[in-house]
Amino acid sequence: MTEGYVFLQDVRFHAFHGVMPQETKVGADFLVNLRIGYPIGKAMQTDEVADTLNYAEVYALVAQQMKQPSKLLEHVAGRIVQAISESFPLVTSIDLTMMKQNPPMGADAEGAGVEIHLINDKIV
């Protein structure tokens, strides 16, 4: 069995996550990156999407979670990792980064965010 990765890079969302009242009203822009460990050997042989992790389905799960407002990015990121793990039992690892662009913290910064690493159902 060949282990490989399926990834989504710099997926952009406008969402309403944050602690400040303005963040829940006007929202902010977010970037999400995912790298998901998955046994891709069969898909390498068959050329069938049913034999791999369908990144369109992964995107749909992420989009669904991004639509649900949360105060903390940790909470949103945790929900995303949980949804992927529950929906795709063959997933062996998940690396997720989520960045809020231009966060309201008084600094000139591209963004601030969180990073989660899940290996065999354990956050490391």
Give the contacts of 69 (CB within 8 A, at least 6 positions apart).
Answer: 15, 16, 17, 24
Q: Could you say which of 25, 42, 67, 100 is catalytic?
A: 100
What's the chain's length in residues? Answer: 124
* Residue 29, strand partner residues: 14
CB-side neighbour CA atoms (13 Å) of 100: 25
Q: Identify whether 42 is a catalytic site residue.
A: no
DSSP type of residue 102: S
What's the CA dihedral at 90, 116, 99, 32 to 10 degrees?
A: 0
Cβ proximity of 3 and 92 under 8 Å: yes
Active site members: 100
